[in-house]
Amino acid sequence: MRQILEILIATACCALAADQTFEVASIHTRTDGTGDISTLKPFRFDFSGPRMTIENFRLSDLVTYAYDIQDYELGGEPRWADIDRYNISARVPDGAALTRDTARPMMRSLLADRFHLKIHTEMKEMSVYALVVAKGGPKFRESPPGAQKLLTVQSKARGAVMTVTNGDMAQLAGQFSKRNSVDRPVIDKTGLTGTFDYKLEWANDVAADADPGVVSVFTALQEQLGLRLQPARYPVQVLIVDHADKPSEN
């Protein structure tokens, strides 16, 4: 992941090939500058053939999407990057079908061209949780050959249920990196390779504290999957924003 990020950044600093840019892209600001989004449309990010539509994304959201990183892996952005929100409509020539992955290099080009984004990476030591195997070993099975890759998360009144097939440990760590009631990044230190099938059910912090019949994600990981989150400090590679401008609308 880290090597890939370095390659992406090096690519963004160079001239991008024609097939790595949108044919047409329009950007419109959707905020009054205060961060109040109560009167705005819901968030939207979808693809339809050669078209991409994004609504109510901040610059920080666009950067984390473009470089396929988590929020905690981004730093140095100006204050307005977490306030101003944008609608973006873009397309490639007819006949090409956009996806989240194929559109990423095009978004990196758009950020450099329209937001004048300049970035670099550096290592930063931070408090994390190391995802490790608990005593007794893992409590899930390896995926059979040819298994479909699937991840679903269903909300419940007091928490959520996540069902995964053909998922690796890095994916599991990512699901709880400052998300889903976990307050720190999670680094995979299980040493488990390959892909696995499992189901995990947990409650949010408030429900777990109030009801002894439900468990927090920390307890759920250990009891249901045979894994645990161990506090630690690790150097993490982060993407630093050196410069960004508000885009002109069109």
| pLDDT surpassing 90 at residue 25 | yes
Q: Domains in the chain: how many in total?
A: 2
Q: How confident is the model at residue 12 (pLDDT cuts 50, 70, 90)?
A: very low
| pLDDT surpassing 50 at residue 6 | yes
Q: How confident is the model at residue 246 (pLDDT cuts 50, 70, 90)?
A: very high
- Domain final position from 122, 147, 174: 122
What are residue 25's phi and psi, to 5 degrees?
Answer: -150, 130
State the burial class of residue 202 (Cβ atoms within 10 Å of its Cβ: 0-12, 13-18, 19+). buried
Pick 20 or 152 by higher pLDDT. Answer: 152
Task: Say whether both 72 and 142 belong to one domain.
Answer: no
CB atoms within 10 A of CB 233: 10
pTM of the predicted structure, to 2 decimals: 0.72
What's the farthest any 2 CA atoms get from each other in the chain? 59
- Which range, of 13-22, 101-110, 135-144, averages the lowest pLDDT? 13-22
Domain annotation covers residue 237: no
Task: Say whether both 20 and 110 belong to one domain.
Answer: yes
- 96 neighbors 50 (Cβ within 8 angstroms): yes
Pick 250 or 82 by higher pLDDT. Answer: 82
pLDDT confidence of residue 222: 96
Range of the domain at 169: 138-225
Q: Are strands 186-188 and 118-133 parallel, antiparallel or unpaired?
A: parallel
pLDDT confidence of residue 13: 43
Task: Say whether both 198 and 88 belong to one domain.
Answer: no
Question: Which token pair is 137?
Answer: 């070993």
- Domain final position from 89, 122, 155: 122
Segment 68-93 shows an average pLDDT of 93
Mean pLDDT of the chain: 86
DSSP string, 155-174: EETTEEEEEEEEE-HHHHHH
pLDDT confidence of residue 31: 58
Pick 34 or 159 by higher pLDDT. Answer: 159
Q: Are strands 74-75 and 227-243 parallel, antiparallel or unpaired?
A: parallel
CB atoms within 10 A of CB 34: 8
What 3-state class would DSSP assign to 46? strand
Question: Which token pair is 166?
Answer: 């053909």
Domain annotation covers residue 248: no
C-alpha separations of 220 from 14, 73, 200 in Å: 46, 26, 7
The residue type of 236 is V
| pLDDT surpassing 80 at residue 32 | no
